[in-house]
Structure 1
Amino acid sequence: MSFSPCNYNTSDISTFELHVDSMLPKRINDPIHGLMEFDDWVIQFIDTPHFQRLRNIKQLGTTYYVFPGASHNRFEHSIGVAHLAYSLVKGLQDRQPDLEVEKDLECVTLAALCHDLGHGPFSHAFDNEVIPRTRPNIEWKHEIGSEKMFDHLLETNEIDFELGTDDVKFIKALIAGDWSKCPNRSRYLFDVVANKRNSIDVDKFDYLERDCYYLGMKSVFDFSRLMRYSRVVDEQIAYYFKECYNIYELFQTRYSLHKQVYNHRVGKAIEYMLCDALVEADSILGISKSIDNPEDYLQLNDTILNQIEFSKEPGLAKSREIINRIRTRKLYKFVDEYLVSDELKDHLTEQKINAREIIAHQGENDRLEEDDIIVDRLKLNYAMNDKNPVDYVKFYNQYNLDETFNLTKSQVSYFVPEKYEEISIRIFARKPEKMKPIQECFRKLLKIHAPHNTIPNEEITPSRGYTLPEGYETSKKRRHSSQSSNDQRISKHRVSIINS
């Protein structure tokens, strides 16, 4: 048997290799999910300026200034969410082939990938604080920004992937979590990225695991089990009934992170400083106007802080001063906190507890001004205000996979919560030297508005752990005073040596 040599044109090799390479999945190694595989069309979306911008937006905003391990960005989180969305829907379709509808898998993957395109500098600080203060008359959230940036991404980048007008509309509806915008598309897919039904979605699966990893904390919630034991019944994602306690762990982990990390007192103080700096700079840099123009918004990220810090513009002097305080750790200070009981929610309202009302109770020599005080009304819950999200979850058992039911708390554990929301009033001082009089005024105000006939006096007193002693000085002052004393002792020692 003889073989004839192959004849081929060597000039075609690079074209052939490029074609084969584009057909192979791209593998991205991730510390949370391991090797993640994406088709070339997904990589084309990742390799756009709109998505690459997320490399410069911290996932946890100013939390990084308190937890230095929390240096991860929206970029890797968004890729992780896309991986989980694809994996979840692909698993559902493999187990239930009748769910397969053309373009569904691709659209939900894209929605997951692009769901955070609209985040501004330092993530939630921008849409929760900066925009409401600079443009109080508009309703704007990062989800709106994500939809606008997704449109702009499609308009300005050549991506070799066909998306019809209905597909684009569907993707934006998935980002918003609003099925009413596309009622003709698969309803269960709206449970995947931004679940408004019971708040169980792959966005939380990724950020809970990723945040715990970079914070150096442990999470007992296991999203992989939840994904494996899920199926679609009556156009809703349902879970095997034994996963109920795992779902409670999801919401408890989320609550714990909000309580201990996302709303950490020092992290929040720095967030208020950062927002003050951006608000002060807004008239010069037009920061808030960028949300109207995707071209401008494309250039806005966490590096705005460096732009202000190193600018010579006289109008940015106050913003630079605030940023310098952050750099030198001369921070706004947490003053006090009061956990509001159900009985007092209607009494301790924003109209009754605010900076203006607090300074109305100051002493003759306190010299307090409204701008000295920040009142933070913190609401923590299980992601559905005061409701139990598990009440809205459907479960199935092994005997009938197509019939769902709900589970009550008594059928799960007597240790699950009785209440699902708490409200705290927290007070911060922009000037640390005014902490003591601010705390005294705040505590006077609390007692005035609490109904004494129904609430015992000890229940309207904040924790003694926060009570500042008489003559309190901030740590910076004590450090400075200590340093001055040391300098004086050294000087006296030098004088005695010279005299001797």
Structure 2
Amino acid sequence: MRVMDNEICYPAKEYLTIHKLFATRADLHRTVYTHAKVKAVELMLVDALLKANDYLQISSCSLDPAEFWKLDDTLLKTIEIADSKKLQESRDIIRRIRRRDLYQFCNEYAVPKDKIEHFKDIAPQDIICCQAAGGVQLKEEDVAVSNVKIDLTRGRDNPIESINFFKDYDSDKKFSISDDRISCLLPTCYQDRIVRVYAKKPELVEAISEAFENLQLKMYGVKKQVHETPEKKKRRR
């Protein structure tokens, strides 16, 4: 690695190593940072804080640096030990997290590659509008949706296209390298969009899963999810 014309450049022989750096980052986002259970906890924390906001005025702290820096994990303990009935809903959600009684993951699908560019985030209302008639009447607050976007740092573009390389340390010339000059096994798409749907109550998993499948049929004509929601999860109460 060296600086050439105020730009960090890399030896050409390290092209695949640099590519692996971006790919590893994306893989960590998929398997760790946006794991289905991680997102379930995140969605629950957001709900708990939203329900506590009117009483604790959490959002107003963002306007005052002297108060903003105080917002940390102790806020959850503040909600848990408070006596106010106005925080009861928030307390219940946090206690569910402590007990690992998380929002139930129903299913997910990856947005087709040719639909990514114009894809709009799915909202709970979209799921509700596709529920089956005559069954459980779902409400918007029964559903949680996580719209996950994972890329190699430049959206739908290849980040290595913005990186320059050099031949060796005796060379003063920098240049870019296209993927096809290195390997035919490298990806041609650099972004994933994944839609995950959760039931806030375990008894609603079946109804929400069915509505989610109906949404996929409405949008794409086929179910894009890899498999059906497990029957064991549907029967959980």
Given the two structures, how large is their TM-score scaled by the length of structure 1? 0.45
The yes-or-no answer on 1:261 pairing with 2:24 is no
Does the residue aligned with 1:289 lie in a helix, a strand or coil?
helix
Does the residue aligned with 1:374 lie in a helix, a strand or coil?
strand
The yes-or-no answer on 1:359 pairing with 2:128 is yes
Quickly say closer, same or farther: Cα 1:372–1:252, change in 2 above 3 A: same
CA displacement at 1:410 relative to structure 2: 2.1
Divergent runs of 4+, >6 A: none
The yes-or-no answer on 1:325 pairing with 2:96 is yes
Which of 55, 65, 82 is equivalent to 1:294? Answer: 65
Q: Is the 8 A contact 2:123 2:145 kept in 1?
A: yes
**In 1, Cα distance between the equivalents of 2:152 and 2:110?**
17
Match of 1:373?
143
Quickly say closer, same or farther: Cα 1:437–1:316, change in 2 above 3 A: same
Listed as ranges, the matches of 1:242-281 within 5 Å are 242-281=13-52
Does the residue aligned with 2:146 lie in a helix, a strand or coil?
strand
CA displacement at 1:411 relative to structure 2: 2.4
Match of 1:468?
230
Quickly say closer, same or farther: Cα 1:423–1:370, change in 2 above 3 A: same
Q: Is the 8 A contact 1:348 1:449 kept in 2?
A: no
Relative contact order, higher structure (CA 8 A, sep 6+): 2
**In 1, Cα distance between the equivalents of 2:118 and 2:226?**
19
Which of 176, 183, 190 is equivalent to 1:413? Answer: 183
Q: Is the 8 A contact 1:347 1:449 kept in 2?
A: no
Structure 2 unaligned spans of 5+: none
Structure (1 or 2) with the greater strand fraction: 2
Q: Is the 8 A contact 1:284 1:315 kept in 2?
A: yes
CA displacement at 1:402 relative to structure 2: 2.0
Instruction: After superposition, give the CA deviation of every residue in 1:87-117 in whole Å (9 maximum; x if it has no partner).
Output: xxxxxxxxxxxxxxxxxxxxxxxxxxxxxxx
Q: Is the 8 A contact 2:152 2:190 kept in 1?
A: yes
**In 2, Cα distance between the equivalents of 1:387 and 1:365?**
44
**In 2, Cα distance between the equivalents of 1:385 and 1:344?**
14
Match of 2:172?
402
**In 2, Cα distance between the equivalents of 1:401 and 1:262?**
40
Instruction: After superposition, give the CA deviation of every residue in 1:30-58 in whole Å (9 maximum; x if it has no partner).
Output: xxxxxxxxxxxxxxxxxxxxxxxxxxxxx
Listed as ranges, the matches of 1:78-477 within 5 Å are 230-345=1-116, 349-350=120-121, 353-362=122-131, 363-398=133-168, 400-450=170-220, 452=221, 457=222, 460-464=223-227, 466-469=228-231, 472-474=234-236, 477=237
**In 2, Cα distance between the equivalents of 1:303 and 1:265?**
25
Q: Which amino acid aligns with 2:9?
A: A
Q: Is the 8 A contact 1:281 1:315 kept in 2?
A: yes
**In 2, Cα distance between the equivalents of 1:429 and 1:328?**
17
**In 2, Cα distance between the equivalents of 1:301 and 1:446?**
38
Between structure 1 and structure 2, the one with the greater Rg is: 1
Q: Is the 8 A contact 2:39 2:146 kept in 1?
A: no
Q: Is the 8 A contact 1:436 1:468 kept in 2?
A: no
**In 1, Cα distance between the equivalents of 2:16 and 2:74?**
42
Q: Which amino acid aligns with 2:52?
A: A
Match of 1:80?
none
Q: Which amino acid aligns with 2:83?
A: K
Q: Which amino acid aligns with 2:230?
A: L
**In 1, Cα distance between the equivalents of 2:163 and 2:232?**
52
Instruction: After superposition, give the CA deviation of every residue in 1:166-215 in whole Å (9 maximum; x if it has no partner).
Output: xxxxxxxxxxxxxxxxxxxxxxxxxxxxxxxxxxxxxxxxxxxxxxxxxx
Q: How many aligned residue pairs are there?
A: 236
**In 2, Cα distance between the equivalents of 1:244 and 1:386?**
19
Instruction: After superposition, give the CA deviation of every residue in 1:10-39 in whole Å (9 maximum; x if it has no partner).
Output: xxxxxxxxxxxxxxxxxxxxxxxxxxxxxx
CA displacement at 1:469 relative to structure 2: 2.3
Q: Which amino acid aligns with 2:175?
A: F
Q: Which amino acid aligns with 1:462?
A: Q
Structure 1 unaligned spans of 5+: 1-229, 478-500
Percent of residue pairs identical: 34
CA displacement at 1:347 relative to structure 2: 7.5
Does the residue aligned with 2:234 lie in a helix, a strand or coil?
coil
